[in-house]
Structure 1
Amino acid sequence: MTNNQKQWDGLTISGELPVGVYYAGTRHKSFTLRVPLANDLIVIQEQFPQAPLPLITLGMYHRQLLVLGDIPEEALTLELLREGLLESDLAVIANTDAELEKKLAPQVAASPIGGESNTNSSSTATESTK
């Protein structure tokens, strides 16, 4: 793992695309997606101020992709994804992104089993049982 990728330790999910992106004579299917950053959206909206939502979304995923098969980083462009990513592959990336968000969401603390009750048992007794 490179120093640049160490910053994403624990903040990524890897997966496999059903079809993959064709590059240099091979379909590249394995990918690693990192968490989205606020800056990702800002950069994409600055690059494409009037872009439709699908392009903004694809731009976000492009920025989040750390690895796509053996495609070199400099060749993994937004244009390559626009031209080579199938909708079924895009759906897998979208689902992986949602899974990553869930993985990183704070866990809701469950109330302890058998914990203390807020009511005093003597105050709930009826007059006939006192």
Structure 2
Amino acid sequence: MTEQTNKQWDGLTITGELRIGVYYAGLRHKRFTLRVGMAGDLVAAQELHPDGPFQLTTLEVYRRQLLSLGDIPTEALTVELLREQLAETDLAIIANADADLEKKLAPPSAATPTGAESSTPLSDTATGSTNSAA
């Protein structure tokens, strides 16, 4: 089952390390693997916490995206555990890893929008001077 799960997320994950880690079973667990976010992650988080604060929904989304966090068993990796044991600085590390993963998976054309250079005033001036010289 784990091998199948790994294949499902092949190339769609990022690995990182928390500064403080999550305390569980007498140890601080720091190494994590985060998978790409799916549409259902946010929907499920909102269904589970319909009246909850935005931060709780965000924590639920990240919990769903975490494929591993140290040696914490998947079934023990709950929102309650993260809520009590995840430091804000470590939450920021997970958020940054999520953003880095999105950038990594973005097609090259998405990194530089088409026509971005030609819409700048400098480019218009350069185009105008080229036309005058011709």
The TM-score normalised by the length of structure 1 is 0.82
Partner of 2:59: 58
Q: Deviations over 1:23-51 (max 9, x none)?
A: 00000000000000000111111111111
Partner of 2:98: 97
- Cα distance in 2 for partners of 1:64, 1:21 equals 16
- Cα distance in 2 for partners of 1:60, 1:95 equals 14
Identity in percent = 63
**How many residues end up aligned between the 2 structures?**
116
Aligned ranges 1:18-57 → 2 under 5 Å: 18-57=19-58
- Cα distance in 1 for partners of 2:51, 2:7 equals 34
- Cα distance in 1 for partners of 2:133, 2:44 equals 64
Greater gyration radius = 1
Aligned ranges 1:59-98 → 2 under 5 Å: 59-98=60-99
Partner of 2:107: 106
Root mean square deviation, CA, Å? 2.1
Partner of 1:117: none
Q: Displacement of 1:59 after TM fit?
A: 0.6
Tell me, which stretches of 5 or more residues in structure 2 are unaligned?
Answer: 115-130
SS of the residue corresponding to residue 2 of structure 1 reads helix
SS of the residue corresponding to residue 34 of structure 2 reads strand
SS of the residue corresponding to residue 108 of structure 1 reads helix
Partner of 1:114: none
**Closer, same or farther in 2 for the Cα pair 1:106/1:85, shift >3 Å?**
same
SS of the residue corresponding to residue 10 of structure 1 reads coil
Runs of 4+ in 1 over 2 A off after TM superposition: 123-126
The TM-score normalised by the length of structure 2 is 0.80
Partner of 2:122: none
Q: Displacement of 1:5 after TM fit?
A: 2.1
Deviates more, 1:45-54 or 1:23-32: 45-54
- Cα distance in 2 for partners of 1:33, 1:14 equals 6
- Cα distance in 2 for partners of 1:82, 1:5 equals 26
